[in-house]
Chain A
Amino acid sequence: MKTTRTIFQDGDHKWVAIVRDPERKGHLIDTNEYLVTHGGQGLLLDPGGAEIFPAVFSALSAEFDPSALAGIFASHQDPDICSSLALWLEFNPQMHCYVSWLWRSFIPHFGGSADTFVAMPDAGMTIALGGLSLTAVPAHYLHSSGNLHLYDAQARMFFSGDVGAALLPPGEDGLFVEDFDAHIRHAEAFHRRWMGSNEAKRSWCERVAKMDIDMLCPQHGAVYQGADVERFINWFDALPVGVVGS
């Protein structure tokens, strides 16, 4: 089963990372899920695929009442992002799923009704969670054509979807980046291939560099914290992307 790690806490305002399942089947890519809680409500960021639902659910429910989940934030449309949607809705059919307007009619193939989905505009939007304001930040073409990240200005936490992702080998899969130079080798090929637009990447780097961020939390791999956040943004800015091969 997965492990939960509280990576930010201020009263009932929390960011909980749900990570690293030692029983995960090898043919499924490892994913990180994040739970943001505030005022008794929870928002689950990229809840993961259907096959890992039992591992994510059991870890989450040890921390938080799953029926109090107010919503799911889907950074984009991939199956490892939210193919578990129908299963989460079993616990709270009134739950909303925030998703780019581009995928508004695609993601319902994973489940949900017409009332489930909140279409986020390209410019992003504010998402209210138990009195807390979260910001959906545009990250289009990084890698999906309709892609959004989530910023919590109060906690200075940034959920970056596939940006910052690294495919870590066994034994080097700590939750936090400890040696940036060693870590980023595992991220380079992924970003070159998966990120499709240098223009979009530049725009994202400019936007995110202006934000106060203590932790940058990707959907795969390790969390960047402190000076590694800026280090990552600069590295990404300089990396040519949209490239097949090395």
Chain B
Amino acid sequence: MGTLPAGTERPGRASATMPLALTGPAPQAGLDLLRIVRINEEIKSVVGVAFRINIMALNAIFLAKRAGTAARGFGVLSNELRTFSQNLRDCMGELSGLVDACVGEVSVVLRDIRHTRLLRQAVAASSWAGGAAVLAARQAESERHLQRLTARRKALRRALDDAFRMVELGGVLAKSAKIEAAYGQSFAASLAQVSGEFDGVVEEIRKSLEALRRSDFFGRH
């Protein structure tokens, strides 16, 4: 049995600098995370507006009932607006779920990038023969995660397009309601106010969704 206080010195291999993806996927994934977080914030505000629409649609129905036959056309449209607001709420719920999933996937990709960077550095600096296989397995796993993110990204884009089309229809309904309000006789001013507010809110949502569809999160992928 021997103790070797002086030790046998064996330095590890000098750090072989290999091209690390420091300017590639990591900043891109970091930007993606920022973008999807911004999308998430925007959708949260749209969900809040959608909730307001639901209340406004109910008010429109009550107002149409009070106006009676003078606002029959407006009454039909207010029921359609109520259905629209419920569909919008469901649609926003789906969008929120998809955004959550995207945030999760981008986070996984970010973790993979750091993990792979450290493994790559370790394998490059080591003479151990098994390193390449471990690195290849890690890269295959990272690739699977990237593909999953791509699929989620496409699903979110599709859902945003669907929501946008639905909101455009809501805008048509709101504008029709504004026209019908003119026939509301003594209720015309109140009906015009309600339908005007509705139109304004739908337009607000439409602009938000339009901006979201143009997000760089969906570009170059």
| Residues in chain A within 8 A of chain B (CB atoms) | 1-10, 17, 23, 50-51, 53-55, 57-59, 61-63, 65-67, 84, 86-87, 90-91, 155-156, 175-176, 214-215, 225
Q: Which residues of A contact B24 (CB under 8 A)?
A: none
Q: Which residues of A contact B11 (CB under 8 A)?
A: 1-4, 59
Distance (Å) between the CB of A63 and the closest chain B CB? 7
CB < 8 Å: which of B12, B115, B121, B131 contacts A4?
B12
The answer for the CA separation of A8 and B114 in the assembled complex, in Å, is: 35
| Residues in chain B within 8 A of chain A (CB atoms) | 1-5, 7-15, 114-115, 118-119, 121-122, 124-128, 130-131, 134, 137-138
- Indicate if the CB atoms of A23 and B15 lie closer than 8 Å: yes
Q: Which residues of B contact A67 (CB under 8 A)?
A: 130
Q: Which residues of A contact B13 (CB under 8 A)?
A: 1, 58, 62
Q: Which residues of A contact B126 (CB under 8 A)?
A: 57-58, 61-62
- Indicate if the CB atoms of B10 and A91 lie closer than 8 Å: no
Given contacts A8-B4, A9-B2, A54-B125, contact A3 B130 (CB under 8 A): no
Q: Which residues of B contact A86 (CB under 8 A)?
A: 115
Distance (Å) between the CB of A179 and the closest chain B CB? 15
- Indicate if the CB atoms of A5 and B128 lie closer than 8 Å: no
Q: Which residues of B contact A54 (CB under 8 A)?
A: 15, 118, 121-122, 124-125
- Indicate if the CB atoms of A10 and B7 lie closer than 8 Å: no
- Indicate if the CB atoms of B4 and A58 lie closer than 8 Å: no
Q: Which residues of A contact B125 (CB under 8 A)?
A: 1, 54-55, 57-58
The secondary structure that dominates the A interface is mixed
The residue among B1, B122, B126 with the most chain A CB atoms within 10 A of its own CB is: B122
Q: Which residues of B contact A62 (CB under 8 A)?
A: 10, 12-13, 126-128
Distance (Å) between the CB of B130 and the closest chain A CB? 6
The secondary structure that dominates the B interface is mixed
Q: Which residues of A contact B3 (CB under 8 A)?
A: 7-8, 156, 214-215, 225
Residue of B nearest to A19 (CB): B7
- Indicate if the CB atoms of A61 and B119 lie closer than 8 Å: no
The answer for the CA separation of A57 and B115 in the assembled complex, in Å, is: 14
Q: Which residues of A contact B138 (CB under 8 A)?
A: 90
- Indicate if the CB atoms of A61 and B128 lie closer than 8 Å: yes
The 10 A-B pairs with the shortest beta carbon distances in the complex, nearest first, are A5-B7, A54-B121, A59-B12, A58-B125, A1-B12, A61-B128, A57-B122, A54-B122, A58-B12, A61-B126
The answer for the CA separation of A46 and B124 in the assembled complex, in Å, is: 23
- Indicate if the CB atoms of B119 and A55 lie closer than 8 Å: no
CB < 8 Å: which of A3, A9, A84 contacts B10?
A3
Known: A5-B8, A58-B15. 13 other contacts (CB 8 A): A4-B9, A6-B10, A9-B2, A9-B4, A51-B118, A54-B125, A55-B125, A57-B126, A61-B127, A87-B118, A90-B119, A176-B5, A225-B3
Q: Which residues of A contact B5 (CB under 8 A)?
A: 7, 176, 215, 225
- Indicate if the CB atoms of A63 and B122 lie closer than 8 Å: no
